[in-house]
Amino acid sequence: MKIITYNVNGIRAAVKKGFIDWMRAVDADIVCLQEIKSTPEQIDHSPVKDLGYETYWHPAVKKGYSGVAVFTRIKPKNVCVGCGIEKYDNEGRVIRVDFEDFSLMNTYMPSGSSGEHRQAFKMMWLEDFFNYISEIKKDFPSLIVCGDFNICHKPIDIHNPKSNANSSGFLPEEREWMSKFFDSGFIDTFRYFNQEPHNYTWWSYRAGARVKNLGWRIDYHAATEKMAARLKRTVILKEALYSDHCPVLLEII
């Protein structure tokens, strides 16, 4: 089974760039999208349905902002939209789909790069999300949490750790949270298979950062330890150019 996570930075813009053709080529079973910046009514669903997907959406209340969606060829037995905390659900940050033998949570974690207010919001989210996910995995022990975490965990995950030491997304307190998250019973599935440097999932649009591979690894598939035996591979699909992020593919058995 192939599962993709992808921050598309606006699904309507991605579709105009050929995103549907890419979906057809990659042929994933489940595609989890973040920062869709759209409501379901704002796109034509027929090309996606023609590929065999059912779609589940959690758009933000604010138009053209945030939001997550799951496209799946495997019919879920249950879909849970939101996390039950209004200030986050208004921003369309969480959707969970439950299948017969595992659950998949798609999340778009806040960025704090726009200023102190949003950084404070991000830190509040991290605390609340940790408490939330700790309870969820009690009920759903076979769980994958994927999406844009907006945090690089370790120096290997960012092109210049020294100059970014005080940057949102690589702050000590954010990185400590990532360690706490993984130590609580989750596997960073990419690092489970690959310990090589220079593997990134997001690049600034400025100064030719993507061509130079001056990036950050902030998009993850995190699997509970109970899922370890089912992990087959995790690959960053850096050739996909429909966003400032690139997709990450997780394959499970």
Domains of the chain are 2-252 (3.60.10.10)
Kind and range of the H or E element at 220? strand 219-224
- In Å, how far are 1, 3, 73, 202 from 142, measured between CA atoms? 15, 15, 19, 28
Residue 124: pLDDT band (50, 70, 90) is very high
Residue 59: pLDDT band (50, 70, 90) is very high
Cite the active site residues. 148
pLDDT of amino acid 92: 98
Q: Region 173-200: what's the mean pLDDT?
A: 98
Q: What is the average pLDDT score of the chain?
A: 97
Residue 50: pLDDT band (50, 70, 90) is very high
Separation of alpha carbons 78 and 1, rounded Å: 19
| 60: phi then psi, degrees, rounded to nearest 5 | -75, 155
List of residues 6+ apart from 207 with CB closer than 8 A: 214
Residue 122: pLDDT band (50, 70, 90) is very high
Residue 241: pLDDT band (50, 70, 90) is very high
Q: pTM for this structure?
A: 0.97
Residue 101: pLDDT band (50, 70, 90) is very high
For the beta sheet containing 2-7, the strands, ordered from the edge strand earlier in sequence to the opposite edge, are 54-58, 68-72, 30-34, 2-7, 248-252, 231-236
Nearest residue to 93 (alpha-carbon basis) of 107, 113, 104, 74: 107
Residue 243: pLDDT band (50, 70, 90) is very high
pLDDT of amino acid 108: 98
**In contact, 122 and 168? CB cutoff 8 Å:** yes
